[in-house]
Chain A
Amino acid sequence: MTARKTLFILFAVLLTVAMLAGCTGGGAKFKVGMVTDAGTIDDKSFNQGTWEGVKAAATKLGLEYKYLKPSGTTEADYLKEIGNLYDAGFKMIVCPGFKFSSAIYAAQTQYKDAKFVLIDASPSSADGKTTKVETNTVSIFFAEHESGFVAGVATALQLQTGEVGFIGGMEIPPVQKFNWGFQQGIKYANDNLGTAITMKAENFVYQGTFSDVAAGQQLAAAMYDKGVDAIFAAAGGVGVGAINEAKARAVKGEQVWIVGVDVDQYADGIWDEAKTKSIILTSAMKGITKAASDMINLESQGKFPGGQTLTFDAKNDGVGIPATNPNLTADVSSKVAKVFADLKAGKIVVSAEQGSLFK
């Protein structure tokens, strides 16, 4: 009974705070909704990154916000949740992931007075024949290859010598671009910054899912046994398995590293009691959080870039590695910052294609 009361009071306080916050923010009031992709809201990756952006912007602006979790991954499942949000008055809806492509294609004409943000894809019809970004929709892409490149440079500089590997989830463009960018980053450091890192084709693999934790652990174990020092894991749940393996080895005294993906995964890699050591060397970040919050801010200012396809890259600080990297030396961090500046200035160009790289 008391627990319930406490909860109730807490809830009431929260409501009041939310209402007060609502009063202070100016501009148009609207409700922001999000539909999650496969996986949970705390996936340390896409869903979580987007949700944090939605939360940050909506809290700041005093907007009501909410996410829904579809029961499957089909267009129908997604559209049902979009419909639920719409029916409940959420007229701005953020959807992370390429799987939303056909659902948003349908929704943008079905719900003309709603605004849609589609991350990592452009709206296209179910049969794939038509692609159209309506004026109530923004389609957002990221330059994952640039992110992978910077992480690659940072990894090479910190290790100086040794071997690196890559574990991908599904073989889809965003993951491939991370991979290719990472390889180019290692090569760039070897060629221009005096590092001697080796890469073998056998250590660049796609597991095939974003969910098989056990498989991720096995793949990572195999690579470490073969002498790989750092693994770039762009693989969702599979990456979690790789991180677990690295942590287990670190506890036993081995020096192994994981390069995180999408968000700053440093905290996920902490393995000691004192919480001071992490096996996450750095993370190849994608500004999902920033993208989501930017769009909400723009909408509140009446400047929603409907109909456009935006790319977040180094130039607009949409990709990169975290601001602080406890596992990188200051020297490495400053060198990486210089490379990042060159990238921004266009002095370095990273290819988004496979070319002669490992697949």
Chain B
Amino acid sequence: MKIRIRREYVLSLVAVLLGLIAGAILMLAIGSNPLKGYLYLFQGGLMSIKRIGNTLATATPLILTGLSVAFAFRTGLFNIGAAGQMLMGGFAATGLALTLETVLPRPLVLLCTILGGTLAGALWGLIPGLLKARFNVNEVVATIMMNWIAFWTVNDGIPAYVRDPNQETQSRGISAVASLKADWLTSLFPGSYINLGLFLAILAALLVAFLLDKTTLGYELKAVGFNRNAAEYAGIKVNRGVVLSMMIAGALAGLAGVVFYTGYATNMQIGVTPSQGFDGIAVSLLGANAPAGAVVAALFFGVLQSGKGFMNAMTDIPPDIADTIIATVIYFAATSVLMERIWSAWRRKRSAKGAAAPAAAGKEAPPPASPDAPAAPKGGA
């Protein structure tokens, strides 16, 4: 078990390295110095307390959407709807914040916005979950549809209920009472956008890890994810698992909406689908679908995204190339499975040539205990 996870992390690291190398080649191709480029990229994300604060703030919603996607993945579901769940979470939180900020004391306002937003996200995950459980509607399709429903709900809801008097396309600004930004935290990272959301995200990661590894619910959900038939055979309520799993994934993305719209942002704009929703898929992949992995991957993405602008400002690398570099890293992360295959194929060839026997076992190689069934995984896959 331990060995397996470590292996996946190694793959992720290799993916990141390859992505960085590919990015370096891109930089060379446009005549820039990759060493300088990466120096500025990482300086941009980390060279001052303020920038570190901003990197953490950028990573915060990514941790949560990454967790959302990873959790669904672990239970055999593909949550493409993190963006919509985030929008609904943000919408509920913004609405509650703007309504309650003048009425209740700060701790209660925060509690309400956090819970309200999380619930709204859970609801947005519940619907595709129910559709899947009841009518076997593919959750990929359903969650994409829910993204659009969320988009238009926010589009009409913000102007109708909480619009900025000067600007039709955004909500009123959230005051300090309801914002997740806290003075003591901001003063630790002066001038940055760091906020209490970071702690919520880390707490959520711990909770998800706990849920998956230590509870009977996690045991059930993972069993459903790995093998629906076996779960059914053992009397696990598979449909309940699907619904719960989508709800939890939705809740995590909803919380991402809360921290993004009432922590990082100052108000909610309409007409914008949060990119964090989709970046969550990459975070999850890079983090090997594990909670700790998602946190690390999100931090890495945070560095890239906050450092990107400084790299652009200091070098002649155009912003679109910077985006390409980041996309390349994501691409390599997403195809780490493919790389694993290439790796083991290469190993097979080597062993065929009679070269030194390799040490590590690849997935393609037969399990040690049953050398008699080497063709079985191929036929059964």
Interface membership of B372, Cβ < 8 A: no
| Given A72-B275, A87-B310, A208-B155, A172:B31 Cβ within 8 A | no
Contacts of A33 in B (CB 8 A): 313
Interface membership of B250, Cβ < 8 A: no
| Given A38-B272, A101-B167, A208-B155, A76:B54 Cβ within 8 A | yes
Q: Mark B24-44, 1 if CB is under 8 A from A, else 0.
A: 000011110000000000001
Near B by CB (< 8 A), chain A positions 115-173 give 124-128, 131, 170-173
Question: Would B320 and A81 count as touching, CB distance under 8 A?
Answer: no
Tell me, rounded to whole Å, the shortest Cβ–Cβ distance linking A97 to chain B.
11
Q: Which of A63-71, A239-247, A325-333 contacts B (4 or more CB under 8 A)?
A: A63-71
Interface membership of B344, Cβ < 8 A: no
What's the tally of chain B residues with a CB closer than 8 Å to chain A?
A: 44
Q: Mark A41-81, 1 if CB is under 8 A from B, else 0.
A: 10000000000000000000000001111111111100011
Tell me, rounded to whole Å, the shortest Cβ–Cβ distance linking B145 to chain A.
15
Question: Would A128 and B164 count as touching, CB distance under 8 A?
Answer: yes
Contacts of B370 in A (CB 8 A): none
Q: How far is the CA of A36 from the CA of B54 in the complex (A)?
A: 20
Q: How far is the CA of A131 from the CA of B305 in the complex (A)?
A: 30
Interface membership of B265, Cβ < 8 A: yes
Q: How far is the CA of A139 from the CA of B173 in the complex (A)?
A: 21
B57, B305, B313, B323 — which one has the most chain A CB atoms within 10 A of its CB? B313
Q: How far is the CA of A54 from the CA of B283 in the complex (A)?
A: 37
Q: How far is the CA of A40 from the CA of B265 in the complex (A)?
A: 22
Near A by CB (< 8 A), chain B positions 306-329 give 306, 308-310, 312-314, 316, 319-320, 323
Chain B residue nearest in CB terms to A8:
B31
Question: Would B193 and A73 count as touching, CB distance under 8 A?
Answer: no
Question: Would A88 and B310 count as touching, CB distance under 8 A?
Answer: yes
Contacts of A69 in B (CB 8 A): 309, 312, 319-320, 323
Interface membership of A210, Cβ < 8 A: yes
Q: How far is the CA of A85 from the CA of B308 in the complex (A)?
A: 12
Contacts of A8 in B (CB 8 A): 31
Interface membership of B266, Cβ < 8 A: yes
Main secondary structure of the interface of A (DSSP, over half): mixed
Q: How far is the CA of A66 from the CA of B312 in the complex (A)?
A: 8
Chain A residue nearest in CB terms to B192:
A76
Question: Would A209 and B320 count as touching, CB distance under 8 A?
Answer: no
Interface membership of A290, Cβ < 8 A: no
Interface membership of B245, Cβ < 8 A: no
Interface membership of B191, Cβ < 8 A: yes
Question: Would A128 and B306 count as touching, CB distance under 8 A?
Answer: no
Specify which of B266, B270, B271, B316 is in contact with A75 (CB 8 Å cutoff). Answer: B266
Question: Would B169 and A172 count as touching, CB distance under 8 A?
Answer: yes
Interface membership of A7, Cβ < 8 A: yes
Question: Would B168 and A170 count as touching, CB distance under 8 A?
Answer: yes
Tell me, rounded to whole Å, the shortest Cβ–Cβ distance linking B80 to chain A.
18
Interface membership of B371, Cβ < 8 A: no
Tell me, rounded to whole Å, the shortest Cβ–Cβ distance linking A57 to chain B.
19
Main secondary structure of the interface of B (DSSP, over half): mixed
Contacts of B193 in A (CB 8 A): 76
Contacts of A124 in B (CB 8 A): 166
Interface membership of A257, Cβ < 8 A: no
Interface membership of A293, Cβ < 8 A: no
Interface membership of A102, Cβ < 8 A: yes
| Given A76-B54, A98-B167, A102-B173, A71:B29 Cβ within 8 A | no
Question: Would A128 and B319 count as touching, CB distance under 8 A?
Answer: no
Question: Would B319 and A68 count as touching, CB distance under 8 A?
Answer: yes
Near B by CB (< 8 A), chain A positions 303-318 give none
Tell me, rounded to whole Å, the shortest Cβ–Cβ distance linking A127 to chain B.
4
| Given A76-B54, A127-B172, A84:B310 Cβ within 8 A | yes
Interface membership of B175, Cβ < 8 A: yes
| Given A76-B54, A210-B271, A85:B313 Cβ within 8 A | yes
Contacts of B310 in A (CB 8 A): 84, 87-88
Complex A-B: 23 CB contacts under 8 Å: A3-B29, A7-B29, A10-B31, A36-B319, A66-B312, A68-B309, A69-B309, A70-B309, A71-B309, A76-B266, A81-B309, A84-B44, A84-B312, A84-B313, A102-B266, A126-B266, A127-B172, A170-B169, A171-B168, A171-B169, A173-B168, A208-B152, A209-B155
A-B contact sample (19 more), CB < 8 A, given A8-B31, A81-B309: A11-B31, A36-B319, A67-B319, A69-B320, A72-B274, A74-B265, A75-B265, A76-B265, A80-B309, A84-B312, A88-B310, A98-B167, A101-B167, A110-B191, A126-B266, A127-B266, A170-B168, A173-B168, A210-B271
